[in-house]
Each structure stands twice: as C-alpha cells, then as structure tokens.
Amino acid sequence: MDPSVAAIKRLTKELKANAKDPNPALEFLQPVSDNNLLLWKGRLKGVPNTPYQDGLWDISIKIPPSYPLHPPEIKFITPICHPNIHATSGEVCLDVLKAQWTPAWSVSSACTAIQAMLSDPEPDSPLNIDAANLARNRQIDPLAYDGLVRYYTRHYACSKN
C-alpha cells in the first residue's frame, strides 16, 4: 500500500474517532481543508491550576505522507512561553514527536502529550533558553517563571472566540 494512501486511511479513522470522542485537551482538531488530510489545525487548552490555565493556543499540524510511521510536525501559531517551545517558530521539542514516536500514537494523543508538557517542562533540552533558565531557577525565584508564563497566556492566548 502506498504510504500516502495508508496515511489517509489512518487519518480518516482518527478523524472519526475524534468526532465520536473529542480530546478534552483540545478545543478542536480538524484538517485545514477537506481536500488535504495532511494539514491540520487545532486549538490546545491550557492546563488547569498552572500558569497556562484559561489559555487557548492555535497549533498547526503537518502530517508526513509516511504517517503513522513518522510523527506529525506540530507547531504553535499562538505565542507561548515554554522552555521546550521555540519563541518565534513555535517548534516543539518533545521526544514523542521525534525519536520516541511509534505508530501507536495518534495526532490527538500527540496533542495530549504536548498539553501535559506544558505543566512539566524539561529545561535541560530547551528551545527557549530564557524560559528554561527561569524554569531551572524556580526554587530560587518561583514567581519569575510563572509570572512570565501567565503574562504570555493572558496577553496572547486568552482572547480566542
């Protein structure tokens, strides 16, 4: 079976599953258009009781023709402050989107992993060095990191309709 045909078949199945049982980590998850199942968009919800609470972040999802053998590329469109998310490109550094990817993961479950990462940053493999330094020093100055994250959340991610 052609890899892109396998990807389309798998993605169609995932779309149906998500319509039947939506992911609580997402406000929505859908293809950008009906003509291309390899480009999706979503809106990730902030984690309650964290500085990301009440935030909504638009994400873009580019799915390779070799999916599910290879992971989707997920990027933040809405600015976010996090050690493992690049401040300008929105690129996400998460092992399940790289070397730890397996076909058992889905687009939806990858989004859940990203949401979980928000409340559990890994400052030792940063894409945002400034946020990583603040996260590393949380015990010295716990308000600095949380305050900056809350600012970004309120300023950029709390005005979605």
pTM, full prediction: 0.92
The total of other beta-carbon atoms located within 10 Å of residue 31's CB is 17
Query: What is the pLDDT at residue 37?
Result: 93
Residues in Cβ contact with 35 at an 8 Å cutoff, skipping those fewer than 6 apart: none
User: For the segment 95-125, what is each residue's pLDDT rounded down to a tens digit?
Assistant: 999 999 999 999 999 999 999 999 999 998 8
Domains of the chain: 3-157 (3.10.110.10)
User: For the segment 11-27, what is each residue's pLDDT rounded down to a tens digit?
Assistant: 999 999 999 999 999 99
Walking along the chain (161 residues) 10 residues at a time, the average pLDDT comes out as 81 96 97 93 96 97 96 98 96 95 97 96 92 86 90 89 49
Catalytic-role residue among 81, 93, 111, 158: 93
Query: What SS3 state is found at 101?
Result: coil
Strand partners, 59: 42, 76
Q: Tell me which amino acid residue 158 is.
A: C
Determine whether 93 is an active site residue: yes
